[in-house]
A and B are shown apart, each in its own frame.
Chain A
Amino acid sequence: MSAPVLQRPAPVRAGRVLPFPVTGQEVVLLVVVAVLWVALAAATPAFATEGSIVPLLVAMTPIALIGIGMTVVIVTGGIDVSVGSIVMVCAVVVAKALVGSGIGLPAAVGLGMVVGAALGLVNGALIAFGRVQAIIITFGTLNLFRFAGLQVFGSATVEGIPATLAPFGRGDEGRTLGVPHSFVVLLVVAALAWAYLRHTPGGRHFFAIGGDQDAARLAGIRVRSRIVLGYVLTGLLAGVAACFVIAQGTSSLAASVGSGLELSVIAAVVIGGTSITGGRGSVLGTLLGALLVQTVRTGVTQLGWPSQLSDLFVGVFIIVAVGADLLRQRRRPGRRRGTT
């Protein structure tokens, strides 16, 4: 091997090794959420109580959890609009297992994870190996999975679900010292994902793939397996989220579960600063995005406004968040995306 290239010892400068973990957009989101909370607490004193905050946190966990997986998928330049159907399939399978076989909580969650991961694998394989746009494939699997779920459902609802999953629910079994378990699970998963994405080669490779898939392949990255992994992860998290949804519901599960969920997830991810074109994104942003969306929903209800108005605000937030991101991108000199 040739001698090392350097001729003189270079001083190792102390200081920041990686870029600061929190981006400007995330700080803004945090501030916006904080402002909203303060404003809501002032407008309706009922908001600032445990009785309001905890259900808010619990309600946001399924979206945020799936959002973690969706962040990875979108960072690689893909998308998954079938997550709503994945949740539905996992929910019905787990619910039936709870009712029919009386399995315990760990088994239920495990079952959800396995089914979700399997469905995610279908997505990933079709997209990575079929080389078709993710949006089309997942539009297709959205229907296929829903069909499969409805087959498992048999009748319109699953009745008599035991409270096995209550530790993930809204009630008292769902919290310890006032902190909801599902939220803790979310934080743990988010922390693991954040560490993985930031500190492991595999995690960084997701960003490389989203930035320039060909350059990534040339650099020796296993592009296909990374892409498949992203979808499998999303499916797996959707399976866990399905358990949360069951826990947060009643003892009967309707076949409409998960319908339209994918849009909320994508909204949370996009508001959080992840770029839909790939290469950029963060788990923290997605969490804040989901928190913002849920805050808006809860706030609107608490203020007595028509609950559908929350969707309008979500739409506006999406525009503002993505618009801000677009403006930031314009200022970059070295970037030469397709010119118009």
Chain B
Amino acid sequence: MTARALRLVLTQRTALLVVLLLAVVVTLTTLSQRNYLSAPYDASYLAATLINAVPLAMLALAELLVITSGRGGIDLSVGAIVSLTGMVFGFAYGQWGWPLAPAIVLALVLGAACGALNGFLVAHLGFPALIATLATYYAFRSLALVVNDQKPINSPPVQALYSTATSVRVPLVGAALPEVPLGIVTFLLPTALVVWVVLARTTAGRRLYAIGTNDVAARWSGIDVRRTRWSAYVAAGAISGLVAVVTVAQFASARPDAGTSGNGMALPAITIAILGGVAITGGVGRVAGVVLATLLVVWLNAGILLAVPGNEGSQFQLFALGVVLVVAALLNALTQRRYGGTR
């Protein structure tokens, strides 16, 4: 019985993540109840920290699409796309007086255009994805910084966006749960839903899995490998554009280094995608896994901050992220060898 359970947990990534999530939440809640933490680790705290989950999960979904497309698919430029489209959004909404909806659409379209460039380089010209997105990372980052002379956009309309980052009830099941940040409902849930529908229910999703599993066989089956791969990068870019809007609202400022400060946003996104069960070789990956992985990381990080406050805490988060990634990767390799892979 335990051997089968172990096998299930190792091969079904979502099962493993649920187990880990429960372990983390239970441990930290217990610590909190015994007053080991500097603040209560309870449901409303968990709900509040979800604000961090929005950009993280969305970018991880973008990486999910790109990595699943196979042939070394990866996108190092998502953070830079966030910075660039964030600035353009800031211009449109904060300076040129556009209404909110068209400005959001602009960010989305521009993000998609950046992704289209990535997709063209990788799918049509045959550049290794790592190189192509490294180059566009540099290019987009530079444009984001230059376009407003390295200055953020803080005009009143932009600042007013901050007030939209309130907490709201989750629709349908909201009565039983604490209020969650607005971004979850307006951005993350729709994005996750759309990506899930596309991957799990549409022909486009099937084509993506096919080219990620074996793009030679996909070609022989009559699938347009180039176009499918290209569209994965376009979608990733579009999602990055939406993340830019979220980030601008979150900080009430369109910052030129929004997605590229420190280690950038791409790295945590890729980490979470891998943790969520996305195979770096392609063809494997589920929205549920990515979302669970995001929750795990966000709530673990939140707990760490309470257990180890201040600077030490944010350092420890780095450690946790690194350990989690290495262990997840080793686990992936182990299950590949013993059980033939994860699902």
Contacts and interface: CB of A to CB of B under 8 A. Distances in A.
Contacts of A318: 131, 134-135, 138
Interface stretch (B21-29, B192-200, B236-244, B327-335): B327-335
B139 interface: yes
A78 B14 CA distance: 29
Contacts of A139: 267, 270-271, 274, 325
A309 interface: yes
A337 to B, nearest CB: 10
A314 B126 CA distance: 20
Interface string B258-290: 000011100100110010000011000000000
Contacts of A143: 271, 318-319, 321-322, 325
B142 A309 contact: yes
Contacts of B311: 150, 156
A54 interface: no
A318 B219 CA distance: 29
Contacts of A277: 128
Interface residues of B, number: 51
Contact of A150 (B135, B143, B315): B315
Given A141-B322, A144-B323, A131 B333 contact: yes
A276 interface: yes
Interface in A22-72: none
A118 interface: no
Interface string A306-340: 10111110111011001100100000000000111
A338 to B, nearest CB: 7
Interface stretch (A196-204, A240-248, A259-267): A259-267
Contact of A315 (B136, B280, B321, B330): B136
B134 A267 contact: yes
Interface string A139-157: 1111111110011000010
B333 A306 contact: no
A246 to B, nearest CB: 21
Contacts of B267: 139, 142
A272 B292 CA distance: 41
Contacts of B326: 126, 137, 140-141, 144
Given A277-B128, A319-B132, A323-B127, A151 B322 contact: no
Interface size band for A? 35 or more
Given A318-B138, A340-B215, A306 B263 contact: no
B313 to A, nearest CB: 11
Interface in A221-261: 256, 259-260
Contacts of B305: none
A18 interface: no
Q: Which of A145, A338, A340 has the most CB of B within 10 A?
A: A340
Interface string B218-248: 0100000110000000000000000000000
B297 to A, nearest CB: 12
A147 B330 CA distance: 20
Given A140-B326, A316-B135, A306 B130 contact: no
B262 A259 contact: yes
Given A147-B315, A306-B145, A308-B145, A137 B263 contact: no
A270 B131 contact: yes
Contacts of A146: 318, 322
A315 B216 contact: no
Given A136-B325, A147-B318, A326-B125, A311 B219 contact: no
B165 interface: no
A266 B134 contact: yes
Contacts of A309: 142, 146
A340 B315 contact: no
Contacts of B216: 338-340
Interface in B102-146: 121, 125-128, 130-132, 134-139, 141-143, 145-146
A312 B138 contact: yes
B142 A315 contact: yes
Contacts of A312: 138-139, 142-143, 146
Interface of A: 79, 126, 130-133, 135-137, 139-147, 150-151, 156, 256, 259-260, 263, 266-267, 270, 276-277, 306, 308-312, 314-316, 318-319, 322-323, 326, 338-340
6 contacts: A126-B330, A130-B329, A131-B333, A135-B130, A259-B263, A311-B139
9 nearest A-B pairs in the assembled complex, by CB-CB distance: A143-B322, A315-B139, A315-B138, A311-B142, A144-B322, A308-B145, A140-B325, A140-B326, A147-B319
Given A126-B330, A139-B274, 7 more contacts: A126-B326, A132-B329, A263-B138, A276-B128, A310-B142, A312-B138, A315-B135
Interface of B: 71, 74, 121, 125-128, 130-132, 134-139, 141-143, 145-146, 149-150, 215-216, 219, 225-226, 262-264, 267, 270-271, 274, 280-281, 311, 315-316, 318-319, 321-323, 325-326, 329-330, 332-333
